[in-house]
Chain A
Amino acid sequence: MSFGALLARRPLVGRDAELAALRTLHTPGGPLVAVVHGVAGTGKSALLRAFAAEHDHVTVVDGRAVEPTPEGFLAAAGETPPQLLIIDTFERLRLLDDWLRHTYFPSLPETTRIVIATRDKPGAVWRASFGEYLHVIGLGPLAPADAHAVLEQHGLDPQQAAEVNRFVRGHPLSLQLAASARREHPDAVIPTVTQELAHLYLDGLDAPTRAALDQACVLRRVTRSLLPDGYERLEPLPFVELTPEGLVIHDTVREAVSALLRATDPVRHRAVRAHAWRQIRSELPDGGWASVADMIALVEEPLVREAFFPTSIQHYAVETARPSDRDAILAIVARHQPGATTALMADWWDAVPDAFRVARSPRGTVVAFTILCDLRDVPQGLFMRDPLCQAWREHLRAYPVPKGQRVLAARLALAHGTGSAPSPCFSALLRDVERASLQAGQVRRIYSAQGGDAIDVQLEAIGYLAIDGDATVCDLGPESVPGWLSELAARDLPLARTTLNADARELTLEGRTVALTKLECDVLRYLQEREGQVVERQALLRDVWGYEWSGGANAADVAISGLRRKLGERAKALETVRGVGFRLNHL
């Protein structure tokens, strides 16, 4: 039985006052939204489960299992407005904060009540949004009598319980770990913090379980396909929870295990990450958001990781600009780039106001802005007036993108206080641009402007290159966002890479070099340019063999068969899509 299932069964100890506070949601004129906050492992989820058990019609959304987009949230919450909506692990949905407060919550019926569990105390924007309808409940450690009761439930005698609680001071997860550790090591001196307790507990695990935990600690979630040998072993551990997406190891323990492995055996840590990468890579074509999120979790580049899994409180809310923001935006431009650029930005505002995104201070003041849109939405007039647009167009002419792939334009980002120099609000904007780009489908390329050394270094690390006309470009590759993320995650990993050297007509596969004919090389390059997409047989013949080709359509099949033979064990990556054509998955 999983920890989650056990938790659901066990009685809630010592949270009577907090439960009573939650029940005020049902008193006439009472609050509409309750936010339960507290540090990791303090029992927020257990409190929510106990409150949910008192209701018949409850919708529970777990932030760990939801794509942090409005569509993802709506899919998880369902179409029928719930009487009680519970959102657990809300810190994983920080990116939706603005949309939830301004759009989703106000759309719910007046009878709906909302309970949220999160690590951080809700900020001023929440108090401003909900006023007296918001009830904030801080969850601290358990009182000594309650902590003793929990430990005694786990089989410790009163004297042992008192001894253990003297160190863990009522922190619920620590109580769990301490009780387990105490059972395994009756003579051990119980240390003081959760990480230490985790180490003590981990020392008692058998070698295969410990190995499985090492492998799991680099994963966002554990599924049977990601960890076939370890899943069963991890399921019963006292810090592993079963969620709709798979097993989730408690953050505190996962970080402790990962840090320990990275510090003591960096080679194995990289090998474990490489193993995870291969498995996630193979699941990416059909895995949807969950697999993309798995890959993001392997990316070490902070700008990308923080965009999706922010680790700290974000003081600045980033949202689409409102009509009333025009003057504040233009004032920021005038402050840093007076003259022609200010006039140009006024033109951009008039042409594509929806492309403007702003970062707001807690009081709502615009502190920074950026412009991001599909290049097709930029009107012709701006291409004539804006030299940067002309630089983008020149590059696009020289290096066109295949049909069906999108090109985004990120025109300018400026902060009131720091211009384009790095700052917290500017970083919030960059993360927002990164996130928006990743969420737009089939993005092949993002054009932007050079922003000074400090920013360019950050962006270069995720693939932005300088081009003529003070512009920059980030080409995500034929597989769009999933392929680009995979490349970022693969950095520094011991992976044998696949490379096609078209000049030498050589394919390197897992360190093995395969010679190709000119035709095979052309076909493979064409398919690699469209990796993951179905390529029609006629399109392949037209573009590789040429318009004048009048031979039979099976010429393509013959060439594909030849390629498959040369791909050896990787032949399955080259699929025939019946009645249509072919698809090359990642080699």
Chain B
Amino acid sequence: MDLYLVSRTGAWHSEEELAASADCMPAVLDTFGGDIRWVRSYVFAEPDGTFSAECLYEATSRKRLAELADALQLPPADRVRKLHAAV
């Protein structure tokens, strides 16, 4: 498992959408057979009223992360970066 930082800008239109995504996450992750672990997310309020997030995951592959986004009906990520190290 590697650590990935997934960035999405303006992907959520409201706090309620964010809450719904977070609410669904554990149930959806359960269907991934341990291939992905959600570490935590940092959420930013954008000036246009939308919300962006930087999400940290442990995952077996980028492909599985893309599948997770699809299961959660999230738009494709702006950037998915594999972490080299945490210091």
A interface list, Cβ under 8 A from B: 123-125, 127, 313, 315-316, 361-363, 365, 367, 416-419, 421-426
Given A423-B28, A424-B24, A424-B27, is A418 in contact with B71 using a C-beta cutoff of 8 Å? yes
A362-B73 in contact (CB<8A): no
Chain B residues in 8 Å Cβ range of A423: 24, 27-28
What is the distance, in angstroms, from A454's C-beta to the closest C-beta of chain B? 9
B17-A361 in contact (CB<8A): yes
Give the distance in Å from the alpha carbon of A313 to the alpha carbon of B14 in the complex: 15
Contact with A along B6-35 (1 / 0, CB 8 A): 000000011111011001100110110000
Given A422-B27, A423-B27, A423-B28, is A417 in contact with B17 using a C-beta cutoff of 8 Å? no
7 inter-chain pairs at a CB distance below 8 angstroms, sorted by A residue, are A127-B14, A361-B73, A362-B14, A416-B73, A417-B72, A423-B28, A424-B20
What is the distance, in angstroms, from B60's C-beta to the closest C-beta of chain A? 19
What is the distance, in angstroms, from B31's C-beta to the closest C-beta of chain A? 6
B13-A363 in contact (CB<8A): yes
A316-B20 in contact (CB<8A): yes
Contact with A along B26-66 (1 / 0, CB 8 A): 01101100000000000000000000000000000000000
Give the distance in Å from the alpha carbon of A426 to the alpha carbon of B31 in the complex: 14
Give the distance in Å from the alpha carbon of A101 to the alpha carbon of B13 in the complex: 20
Which residue of B has the minimal Cβ distance to A127? B14
Q: Which of B13, B31, B72 has a CB less than 8 Å from the CB of A421?
A: B31
What is the distance, in angstroms, from A91's C-beta to the closest C-beta of chain B? 16
Given A423-B27, A425-B24, is A417 in contact with B71 using a C-beta cutoff of 8 Å? yes
Give the distance in Å from the alpha carbon of A417 to the alpha carbon of B24 in the complex: 9
A418-B16 in contact (CB<8A): no
Chain A residues in 8 Å Cβ range of B31: 417-419, 421
Chain B residues in 8 Å Cβ range of A424: 20, 23-24, 27
Which residue of A has the minimal Cβ distance to B15? A124
Tally of contact residues, B, Cβ under 8 A: 16
What is the distance, in angstroms, from B32's C-beta to the closest C-beta of chain A? 10
Q: Is the interface of A mostly helix, strand, loop or mixed?
A: loop
Give the distance in Å from the alpha carbon of A423 to the alpha carbon of B27 in the complex: 5
Chain B residues in 8 Å Cβ range of A125: 16
Chain A residues in 8 Å Cβ range of B71: 416-418
B73-A417 in contact (CB<8A): yes
B73-A421 in contact (CB<8A): no
B16-A315 in contact (CB<8A): yes
Chain B residues in 8 Å Cβ range of A124: 13-17
Ranked nearest first, the 6 interchain pairs of A and B with the lowest CB-CB distance are: A423-B27, A124-B14, A315-B20, A417-B71, A123-B16, A362-B16
A362-B28 in contact (CB<8A): no
What is the distance, in angstroms, from B27's C-beta to the closest C-beta of chain A? 3
A315-B27 in contact (CB<8A): no
A417-B28 in contact (CB<8A): yes
What is the distance, in angstroms, from A393's C-beta to the closest C-beta of chain B? 33
Q: Which of B13, B15, B20, B27 has a CB less than 8 Å from the CB of A418?
A: B27
Interface centre among A362, A422, A425, A426 (most CB of B within 10 A): A362
What is the distance, in angstroms, from B26's C-beta to the closest C-beta of chain A? 9
Chain B residues in 8 Å Cβ range of A365: 73
What is the distance, in angstroms, from A361's C-beta to the closest C-beta of chain B? 6
Chain B residues in 8 Å Cβ range of A425: 24
Chain B residues in 8 Å Cβ range of A123: 14, 16
Contacts A123-B14, A362-B14, A418-B30 known; list 20 others, CB within 8 Å. A123-B16, A124-B14, A124-B16, A315-B19, A315-B20, A315-B23, A316-B20, A361-B73, A362-B17, A363-B17, A365-B73, A367-B24, A416-B73, A417-B28, A417-B73, A418-B31, A418-B71, A421-B30, A424-B27, A426-B27
A367-B73 in contact (CB<8A): yes
Interface centre among A125, A418, A419, A422 (most CB of B within 10 A): A418
What is the distance, in angstroms, from A134's C-beta to the closest C-beta of chain B? 14
What is the distance, in angstroms, from A80's C-beta to the closest C-beta of chain B? 34
Interface centre among B19, B20, B71 (most CB of A within 10 A): B20
Give the distance in Å from the alpha carbon of A123 to the alpha carbon of B15 in the complex: 8
Chain B residues in 8 Å Cβ range of A426: 27
Which residue of A has the minimal Cβ distance to B19? A315
What is the distance, in angstroms, from B39's C-beta to the closest C-beta of chain A? 19
Give the distance in Å from the alpha carbon of A416 to the alpha carbon of B27 in the complex: 12
A362-B20 in contact (CB<8A): yes
Give the distance in Å from the alpha carbon of A418 to the alpha carbon of B33 in the complex: 12
Give the distance in Å from the alpha carbon of A423 to the alpha carbon of B71 in the complex: 12
Give the distance in Å from the alpha carbon of A316 to the alpha carbon of B27 in the complex: 15
Which residue of B has the minimal Cβ distance to A122? B16
Q: Which parts of B63-85 form the interface with A (CB within 8 Å)?
A: 71-73
What is the distance, in angstroms, from B8's C-beta to the closest C-beta of chain A? 14
Chain A residues in 8 Å Cβ range of B14: 123-124, 127, 362-363
What is the distance, in angstroms, from B76's C-beta to the closest C-beta of chain A? 15
Give the distance in Å from the alpha carbon of A363 to the alpha carbon of B11 in the complex: 11
Which residue of A has the minimal Cβ distance to B14? A124
Chain B residues in 8 Å Cβ range of A362: 13-14, 16-17, 20
Give the distance in Å from the alpha carbon of A127 to the alpha carbon of B30 in the complex: 33
B20-A417 in contact (CB<8A): no
Give the distance in Å from the alpha carbon of A367 to the alpha carbon of B73 in the complex: 8
Give the distance in Å from the alpha carbon of A204 to the alpha carbon of B58 in the complex: 56
Give the distance in Å from the alpha carbon of A421 to the alpha carbon of B24 in the complex: 12
Give the distance in Å from the alpha carbon of A425 to the alpha carbon of B72 in the complex: 11
Give the distance in Å from the alpha carbon of A419 to the alpha carbon of B24 in the complex: 13
Give the distance in Å from the alpha carbon of A457 to the alpha carbon of B7 in the complex: 38
Chain A residues in 8 Å Cβ range of B19: 313, 315
Give the distance in Å from the alpha carbon of A443 to the alpha carbon of B28 in the complex: 34
Chain A residues in 8 Å Cβ range of B17: 124, 361-363
What is the distance, in angstroms, from A416's C-beta to the closest C-beta of chain B? 6
